[in-house]
Amino acid sequence: MCFTNSSIVDENSQIVRASRLEKERRRDLSQRDVVSGLVPPTNTIMMRNIIQDAYATFPNIVNGDILISALLAEHGQAGYIGDVTACYRIHPQGLWSSQSLKFQMVHYLRTYLVLLDRFKDKYEDILLQAIGSGYENLLACYQK
C-alpha cells in the first residue's frame, strides 16, 4: 500500500488544516507503526486487493481503518508519497464524529481486541496498552 497526505476542510469547503498528518506520520510506516496508532489517512490509501478474504472475517468492526492498514502492512511497509491528494471533510453529521464518545470507545475496543487476537504474537505489549487506555476512557465516559 501507499498513501499520501490530505488537508482538512469544513462543511463549507474551507481549509481548516493544510496537512492532516503530523510530521512523524509523513514517512513510510511499518506494521508496528500502524498498530501503534500511526494510521495512514484511509482516503489516500492505494492498495492491491489482497486482504479481502482476511477482512471479511471481521464483520462487526465499525472503524476498520486501523485493521485494514494493519492487514495490508503484513505484506510490506506503507509507502509515503509526499503530496496532498485528498481532503478530509469534517462536519457535524460525520459517520464517526457524530457518534457519542461512549460509542467510539466501545468500537475502538472491539477493533483493538480483534487486533490483539490477530497480532498477539508480534504486538501484544502495544495492543494491551491501547486496550487498557481504551477501557480507562470508556470508564470515564460512564462516570460522567
Beta-carbon contacts of residue 16 (< 8 Å; ≥ 6 apart): 8, 9, 10, 90
Q: What is the pTM of this model?
A: 0.85
Of 56 and 82, more confident: 82
- pLDDT (mean) for 129-142: 93
DSSP secondary structure code for residue 42 in this structure: G
Residue found under cell 493544510: 18
Strand ranges for 26-143 from DSSP E = 79-89
Of 120 and 24, more confident: 120
pLDDT of residue 14: 95
| Residue closest to 105 by CA, chosen among 129, 131, 68 | 131
Which percentage of the chain shows pLDDT scores above 90?
A: 67
**DSSP assignment of 98-126:** TS-HHHHHHHHHHHHHHHHHHHHHHHHHH
